[in-house]
Amino acid sequence: MVSIINAGPDDWRAVRDVRLRALTDSPDAFGVTLREARAQADEVWRERLEGSNPTLLALDEDAPVGMGGGFLPPESDVAWIWGMWIAPDRRGTGLGRRIVDELVRWAQGTGRVVHLHVAEGNHGARALYVSSGFVSTGQWEPLRDGSPVQIEKLVLRRG
């Protein structure tokens, strides 16, 4: 049975591991590169997990097999879902839906509008988000500076 935890500072190694796996597996799905993530100091990984923004970690026993996070920008009415990734051998099992649903519950509890980005060509992730109640805003932007990949902003339209 896969459990989902809200990772804390003591879980930084598992979060780093799954994030590096995600960037290796899907380098054009995230705003940071594998090289940039590998260069981050251990303390940076720990500090990210100290605040109130959730980083959900899916664990099969002690092995990380997925993740997703939430972020509340200061001075904003938006709650962002970010960093969704499921290990390839776990895709299609409902694990992504479980993580999205938990993050949506958290985000809706903040009273903010819920947004996320999805990279062009990431049809599986887009299908998950649409089936979870997200719709296109029609807004596109580059994944990161210098990247030809575009990301689409989606907004949650369910109650």
pLDDT band at 155 (very low <50, low <70, confident <90, very high): very high
Q: Are 150 and 142 in contact (CB under 8 A)?
A: yes
CA torsion through residues 123, 62, 15, 56, sign: positive
Q: Are 118 and 106 in contact (CB under 8 A)?
A: no
Report how far residue 103's alpha carbon sits from residue 129's, in angstroms, rounded to the nearest whole number: 12
Q: Record the pTM.
A: 0.95
Report how far residue 5's alpha carbon sits from residue 47's, in angstroms, rounded to the nearest whole number: 17
Tell me the pLDDT tens digit for each residue of 83-140.
Answer: 999 999 999 999 999 999 999 999 999 999 999 999 999 999 999 999 999 999 999 9
Give Cα 29 to chain centroid, integer Å: 10
Return the half-sphere exposure (C-beta side, CA atoms, 13 A cut-off) of residue 129: 25
Domains and CATH numbers, the chain: 2-156 (3.40.630.30)
Q: Which two tokens stand for residue 37?
A: 């993530």
